[in-house]
Amino acid sequence: MLVLLERGLGESSIGDIATRLRMFGLSIHRTDHGGQARIGAVGENAGVDWGAVRAWPGVASVEKLPAPFKLVSRAFHPHDTIISVGRCAIGSRQLAIMAGPCSVEGEEQAFTIAAAVARAGATIMRGGAYKPRTSPYSFQGLGEEGLKLLRRAADANGLAVVSEVMDSQHVPLVARYADILQVGARNMQNYALLKEVGHAEKPVLLKRGLAATIEEWLMSAEHIVSQGNTQVVLCERGIRTFETYTRNTLDLNAIPVVKELSHLPVIVDPSHGTGIRNKVGPMARASIAAGADGLIVEVHHDPDHALSDGAQSLYPEQFEELVGQIRTIAGVLGRTA
Ligand code: PEP
Ligand code: MN
């Protein structure tokens, strides 16, 4: 339920109301909008007499939050969530440009690509150190060594870091090096992992599952936010369809749909969304035109020898040209990149 408090109500009265709601066994989440405190009271609330709550002093009204997602809904939190990471405010008018290799492969590779993407205009460097690979015989990532390299390469170029965490036990380790914890498509419904990143003090980039509906994706975000971590960035990265000419089918419908349903920022990964280098640019441009808050793009200086996803990685020059085009499109929309 959404409990709207009277405008200008003092902090101690707000605290009292929150305490009383907690006594019903509900979990309490607060957001403020237009000078009014809004309390999201969630959980199994059988037996609560909401008519009585409505009459409590300080309570202006009580409304039902839409089903099934609550804390991530715009009904609870009407304004856009903005997440500050390094020089970037994700979800603001400034687009978030994240780029880097699929996997961190070594020092020279990480530093070369970091310098290239920084020069082109990225503010956040991507790179996997723990890789979810379809084959157990493919490169699985450099682990902590990869995180160290990524951090150093990013720092040397003034970039923040996003990297995937695959295992709930690795959350503290990845959080030590990365500014954003990426939950990959294959783990979108790994609820133990969602719970753990929900307790982390770092923003989470939640990719859409390979076969997840928008509702399932938002419910996964709800798992994270309900644990207390409100800093969730959604990432559309393509879904499985019957189409075989592209690796995935990038669902650009999801952008305006999510924007309406949720206050969370949504970015697009056109690299995994298409799987094909020369399709990345068109879909990146379309994503921004459709209202995405940013992009995460795979870039490699020597993609023919990349240890993962070389076929969908842009050359640094292509990425630089793309960022220029993205800036033009951003301008048309009153945004910057
Ligand atoms: C990745 O970002 O390299 C990755 C594995 O992405 P996804 O989880 O979307 O497949
Ligand atoms: Mn990849």
| DSSP symbol at 101 | -
Q: On the CB side of 332, how many CA atoms lie within 13 Å of its CA? A: 10
Q: Which is the closest atom of ligand 1 to the Cα of 208?
A: 9
- CA of 147 relative to ligand 2 center, distance in Å: 16
Rounded-to-integer distance, Cα 258 and Cα 69, Å? 12
Ligand minimally distant from the alpha carbon of residue 134? 1
Ligand 1 contact via 184 beta carbon (within 6 Å): yes
The helix (run of H) or strand (run of E) holding residue 267 is: strand 266-268
| DSSP letter string, 196-236 | HHHTSSS-EEEEPPTT--HHHHHHHHHHHHHTT---EEEEE
Mean pLDDT over each residue of the chain, to the nearest integer: 97
Of the candidates 56, 38, 55, the one whose C-alpha atom is nearest the C-alpha of residue 1 is: 38
Contact 156, 148 (CB under 8 A): no
- CA of 182 relative to ligand 2 center, distance in Å: 12
| DSSP letter string, 26-94 | -EEEEEEETTEEEEEEES--TT--HHHHHTSTTEEEEEPPPSS--TTBTTTS-SPP-EEETTEEETSSB
Name the phi and psi angles at 237, rounded to 5. Answer: -135, 20
Chain mean position to CA 247: 21
Residue whose token pair is 């399932």: 216
Ligand 1 contact via 272 beta carbon (within 6 Å): yes
Residue whose token pair is 């070389």: 310
pLDDT score, position 66: 85
Choose the residue to mutate in 150, 161, 271, 272 for probing ligand 1, maximizing ligand atoms within 8 Å of C-beta: 272
CATH fold of 83-332 reads TIM Barrel (3.20.20)
Calculate mean pLDDT across residues 29-46. Answer: 91
Name the phi and psi angles at 22, rounded to 5. Answer: -60, -30
Residue whose token pair is 């101690």: 12
- CA of 222 relative to ligand 2 center, distance in Å: 25
Rounded-to-integer distance, Cα 290 and Cα 285, Å? 9
Ligand 1 contact via 207 beta carbon (within 6 Å): yes
Rounded-to-integer distance, Cα 78 and Cα 273, Å? 29
The predicted-structure confidence for 111-146, as pLDDT tens digits, reads as follows 999 999 999 999 999 999 999 999 999 999 999 999
Residue whose token pair is 């309900």: 226
Ligand 1 contact via 102 beta carbon (within 6 Å): yes
Cis ω for the linkage preceding 68 (within 30 of 0):
yes
The predicted-structure confidence for 237-276, as pLDDT tens digits, reads as follows 999 999 999 999 999 999 999 999 999 999 999 999 999 9
Residue whose Cα lies nearest atom 4 of ligand 1: it is 184
Residue whose Cα lies nearest atom 1 of ligand 1: it is 102
Residue whose Cα lies nearest atom 3 of ligand 1: it is 102
**Matching CATH number, 2-63, of 3.90.1150.10, 1.10.10.10, 3.30.70.1140, 3.20.20.140:** 3.30.70.1140
Name the phi and psi angles at 290, rounded to 5. Answer: -80, -5
pLDDT score, position 44: 83
Ligand 1 contact via 185 beta carbon (within 6 Å): yes
Amino acid at position 274, single letter: T
Residue range(s) in the chain whose domain bears CATH number 3.30.70.1140? 2-63
Calculate mean pLDDT across residues 77-99. Answer: 97
Ligand 1 contact via 68 beta carbon (within 6 Å): no
Q: Which is the closest atom of ligand 1 to the Cα of 184?
A: 8
Residue range(s) in the chain whose domain bears CATH number 3.20.20.70? 83-332
The predicted-structure confidence for 216-246, as pLDDT tens digits, reads as follows 999 999 999 999 999 999 999 999 999 999 9
Contact 99, 140 (CB under 8 A): no
